[in-house]
Amino acid sequence: MLVFFLIPVLILTVYSFWSVENFQVQRDFSFDNYTAIFTKPLLYKAFLLSLRVAFFSSFGAVLLAFPFAYFIAKKVVKYQSLALLAVIVPFWTSFILRAYAWRILLGPNGVINQGLEAAGLIEEPIGALLYSPTATGIGLLYVYLPLAILPIYSVLERLPDSLTEAAADLGASPFQVFREVVLPLSMPGVLVAGVFTFVFGIGEYVIPALLGGGKQLLYAEAIVLRINAQQDWPAAAAMAIVLMVLTFGMVALLGRRVRKMELF
Amino acid sequence: MSQERQPAGVSLIDVTRRFGDVEAVKNVSFDIEAGEFVSLLGPSGCGKTTTLRMIAGFEYPDEGDITLDGKSIVATPPYRRDTSMVFQDYALFPHRSVAQNLAFGLRMRKIPKDEIRAKIETMLELVELPGLGDRKPDQLSGGQQQRVALGRALIVDPAVLLLDEPLGALDLQLRKQMQLELKRIHREIGITFIYVTHDQEEAITMSDRIAVMNQGSVEQIGPATEIYARPETAFVAEFIGDANVLLATVVAVGEKPTVTFAADTLTMEVARPARTFSERDVVSAVVRPENVSIGPDADSFDNVYDMEVSEVIFAGSYVRIHGLIGGSPLWLTTTVSDASRSNQVGSRVRVGWDAGDVVLVEWKS
Ligand SMILES: Nc1ncnc2c1ncn2[C@@H]1O[C@H](COP(=O)(O)OP(=O)(O)O)[C@@H](O)[C@H]1O
Ligand SMILES: [Mg+2]
């Protein structure tokens, strides 16, 4: 298993120190590919934009996911597995398909525009629904929400009701129960949800392209461009390795934090 | 410990709680005096926890009212009730130390820090855990966790302490020790204790009064001695102590009440029943095994029969003898020396008991 992972990574690492001239790979050694990422405006802007997208999808998804997860874990007693299924099912369909579904909903001839028109609320379709930051935001949250719900659900589901009841019994108001007991004890799940969505978000470019119109270059898209348009494999390799180090670093940190917090 | 709050009485008035089709608590009424130690006793599933949770505020009654100190509390959320609960699984906050667990209720009440610190020290002493304030709950034994749970509930000076089978998870020896300690703490702080248990011995040892519950109803409430001597139902008779419950028919009421039993082949004089029965009523006649005498002495009692011995069981400090009188099974307990005179399986012996030792209750359907 490890071999299948390590060998490509090694090859990638070696590649990342080479360079390209006239579409020919030169087997020399330099850090140029790495310094370029943080000095070329095109690249570092793409990197920063990707960080922003990742931060938004992670923060937004976790914030939205918490009430969903809480509701499923603590309030839905009878139909809990059904509710969980509703969260998981989208995973089984291609997420490109789901992004296209949102295009149909949000597009100029889409369900929302036609509905509003039929209701006489608008006269012309709102073109800005699709290909806007809002559309990107909706799409990102929609795709990342289940990813964030599951880990939070799993910690909340294991949180004994007697703990929240004990807190209330000792005089904690519902808000204090949340702050003093529910939140600290669900932190492992919140962190996992946050890092997962962040890691996915930083490599994201399909949804912004399909729903946001791809007006700004994202980091992952820039990697693809390096390969497809410029045949610059070494530069792409360096960019990929930066991304990988970042995500692995976060996952490793997360692992240590969560293990320290493993409380029950 | 300084006493900041007066103990309060608790009353349930026709309280009913349903879960779907299940009536977990049916029409329960009782009054608990301020400072009393009352046990809710009954088999698993009889509604003890639900009753306690309604007093704490985690469940609401579908019908009826609950009062604390004479004032209705059903609309008061748990965090504003003057009750504290010791949970069956202790429910200690796993992310907090012992001291932080103890401090929780005081922090919620915005008590100053140095006062909290002093109270924690006092409480650690009361529950006999000095020096363990910095431990996390998972670094404590079951018995120690139990004490933390108790201390955490007591530190807020509740008017009523609610305990849901708090010793259920401890081994026998520790349980006996904690029973005594709970009694001591009850004496020292004097607040009302409502104690849920399915263990009759525990209820008898600890309580001023016992409420015996069965299938959602309170069948009888009173001091252990009274419940034992005068059970009001066959269930209570069998649940508290040991009992022969004989199917009997009332044949005479008035000055000398009499019943027949063993398929109407034998008659038995009984004391005047607490509740009134009429002739031909089918009843349960309760006779405690230790009230049955065996051997020649038996002849001096009001009711005397021949018994065919079918089994003699040595049980340590006493002997259990099973047999048949008029075809109806009966068992009794006697001392080892008395038993040696009549321990032949298959032999016929005289058994007898007084009219005053028979309690008539409604036939259990
Ligand atoms: N939250 C609940 N939902 C559904 N049924 C419940 C709930 N709590 C208790 N019950 C039912 O109510 C009855 C009484 O339960 P409980 O009060 O826990 O009994 P006990 O504490 O005496 O064992 C049982 O039949 C139990 O299954
Ligand atoms: Mg119970």
List the CATH number of the domain containing A179.
1.10.3720.10
Chain B residues with CB-CB distance to A170 below 8 A:
79, 84, 104-105, 108, 152-153, 156
A40 falls within a domain: no
Instruction: Starting at the earlier edge strand, list the strands of the sheet with B244-252.
Output: B266-269, B258-261, B244-252, B282-287, B358-362
Q: Tell me which residue in B57, B89, B152 faces A162 most closely, judged by beta carbons.
A: B89
A95 falls within a domain: yes
Cβ–Cβ gap B105/A181 under 8 Å:
no
pLDDT of residue A262: 58
Chain A residues with CB-CB distance to B83 below 8 A:
169
Query: Which of A8-12, A119-123, B279-283, B309-313 shows the lowest mean pLDDT across its residues?
Result: A119-123
Q: Which residues contact A70 (CB under 8 A, 6 or more apart)?
A: A152, A156, A182
Between CA A202 and CA A217 the distance in angstroms is 13
A78 falls within a domain: yes
Q: Does A190 touch chain B (CB under 8 A)?
A: no
Cβ–Cβ gap A166/B89 under 8 Å:
no
pLDDT of residue B341: 60
| Residue carrying the six token digits 């409420």 | B211
**Structure-token pair, residue B206:** 């600890």
pLDDT of residue B57: 95
Global pTM?
0.85
pLDDT of residue A99: 79
Between CA A213 and CA A220 the distance in angstroms is 15
Between CA A133 and CA A49 the distance in angstroms is 12
As to burial, measured by CB atoms within 10 angstroms (0-12 exposed, 13-18 middle, 19+ buried), residue A1 is exposed
Residue B332 amino acid letter: L
Structural contact between residues B302 and B269, judged by C-beta atoms closer than 8 angstroms: yes
Any idea which ligand is nearest the CA of B47? 1
A28 falls within a domain: no
Cβ–Cβ gap B56/A169 under 8 Å:
yes
Q: Tell me which residue in B87, B104, B156 faces A162 most closely, judged by beta carbons.
A: B87
| Residue carrying the six token digits 């932190």 | A187
DSSP letter at A15 equals H
More confident residue, B298 or A261: B298
Q: Tell me which residue in A170, A184, A263 faces B108 most closely, judged by beta carbons.
A: A170
Q: Does A76 touch chain B (CB under 8 A)?
A: no
pLDDT of residue A263: 46
DSSP letter at B136 equals -
Query: Which of A103-117, A197-211, B129-143, B311-325 shows the lowest mean pLDDT across its residues?
Result: A103-117
Chain A residues with CB-CB distance to B78 below 8 A:
165, 168-169
Pocket of ligand 1 (CB under 6 A): B 19, 22, 24, 42, 44-50
Cβ–Cβ gap B95/A162 under 8 Å:
no
Residue to substitute in B50, B51, B217 for testing ligand 1 pocket (most ligand atoms within 8 angstroms of CB): B50
Which residue's CA is the closest to the ligand 1 atom numbered 4? B19
pLDDT of residue B27: 95
Ligand 1 atom having least distance to the Cα of B53:
17
Chain B residues with CB-CB distance to A186 below 8 A:
none
Cβ–Cβ gap B89/A160 under 8 Å:
yes
Between CA B283 and CA A135 the distance in angstroms is 78
* B49 CA to centre of ligand 2 in angstroms: 4
pLDDT of residue B340: 65
pLDDT of residue A124: 76
ipTM for the whole predicted complex goes beyond 0.90: no
Between CA A233 and CA A229 the distance in angstroms is 11
Band the pLDDT of A85: cuts 50, 70, 90. confident
Alpha-carbon dihedral sign for residues A69, A75, A79, A80? positive
Band the pLDDT of A221: cuts 50, 70, 90. confident
Strands, DSSP E only, in A89-235?
none
**Structure-token pair, residue A149:** 């719900």
* Residue of chain B whose Cα is closest to the Cα of A168: B79
Between CA A134 and CA A180 the distance in angstroms is 35
Strands, DSSP E only, in B69-188?
71-72, 83-86, 160-164
> Domain tally for chain A?
1
Mean pLDDT of the A204-220 span: 83
DSSP letter at A262 equals -
Band the pLDDT of A260: cuts 50, 70, 90. confident
Between CA B19 and CA A262 the distance in angstroms is 35
A33 falls within a domain: no
Mark out the alpha helices in B207-313 (DSSP H runs): 224-229, 234-239
Between CA B147 and CA B136 the distance in angstroms is 13
A39 falls within a domain: no
pLDDT of residue B198: 94
Structural contact between residues A95 and A175, judged by C-beta atoms closer than 8 angstroms: no
A109 falls within a domain: yes
Any idea which ligand is nearest the CA of B23? 1
pLDDT of residue B222: 96
A25 falls within a domain: no
* Residue of chain A whose Cα is closest to the Cα of B55: A169
On the question of pLDDT at A192 being above 80, the answer is yes
On the question of pLDDT at A195 being above 80, the answer is yes
Spell out, as residue ranges, where chain B has pLDDT lower than 50: 1-3
Interface of B with A (CB under 8 A): 56-58, 77-80, 83-85, 87-89, 91-95, 104-105, 108-109, 152-153, 156
**Structure-token pair, residue A86:** 């509703």
Reported as a single tens digit per residue, the pLDDT across B287-326 is 999 999 988 888 889 999 999 999 988 888 888 999 999 8
Which residue's CA is the closest to the ligand 1 atom numbered 25? B45
Determine how many CB atoms are found less than 10 A away from the CB of residue B162. Answer: 26
Give the count of Cβ contacts less than 8 A between chain A and B.
64
Identify the H or E element spanning A261: helix A233-261
Between CA B171 and CA A236 the distance in angstroms is 65
Residue to substitute in B12, B18, B21, B22 for testing ligand 1 pocket (most ligand atoms within 8 angstroms of CB): B22
Cβ–Cβ gap A162/B91 under 8 Å:
yes
Q: Tell me which residue in B77, B88, B93 faces A181 most closely, judged by beta carbons.
A: B93
Tell me the nearest-neighbour CA distance from A71 into chain B, angstroms: 18
Burial B337-365, CB ≥16 within 10 A → b, else e? ebbeebbeeeeebbbbbbbebbbbbeeee
On the question of pLDDT at A264 being above 50, the answer is no
As a whole-number percent, the residues of chain A with pLDDT over 70 amount to 98
Tell me the nearest-neighbour CA distance from A166 into chain B, angstroms: 6
Tell me the nearest-neighbour CA distance from B184 into chain A, angstroms: 23
pLDDT of residue A166: 97
Q: What range defines the domain where residue A203 resides?
A: 52-218
Between CA B188 and CA B168 the distance in angstroms is 23
End-to-end alpha carbon distance in chain B = 50
Q: Which residues contact B336 (CB under 8 A, 6 or more apart)?
A: B314, B317, B318, B319
Reported as a single tens digit per residue, the pLDDT across A226-242 is 888 888 888 889 999 99
Between CA B218 and CA B226 the distance in angstroms is 15
| Residue carrying the six token digits 């530190």 | B155
Cβ–Cβ gap A170/B94 under 8 Å:
no
* B43 CA to centre of ligand 1 in angstroms: 12
| Residue carrying the six token digits 């935001």 | A137
Structural contact between residues B223 and B230, judged by C-beta atoms closer than 8 angstroms: no
Structural contact between residues A19 and A162, judged by C-beta atoms closer than 8 angstroms: no
In order, the DSSP letters of A143-166 are HHHHHHHHHHHHHHHHS-HHHHHH
* Residue of chain A whose Cα is closest to the Cα of B91: A163
pLDDT of residue B2: 45
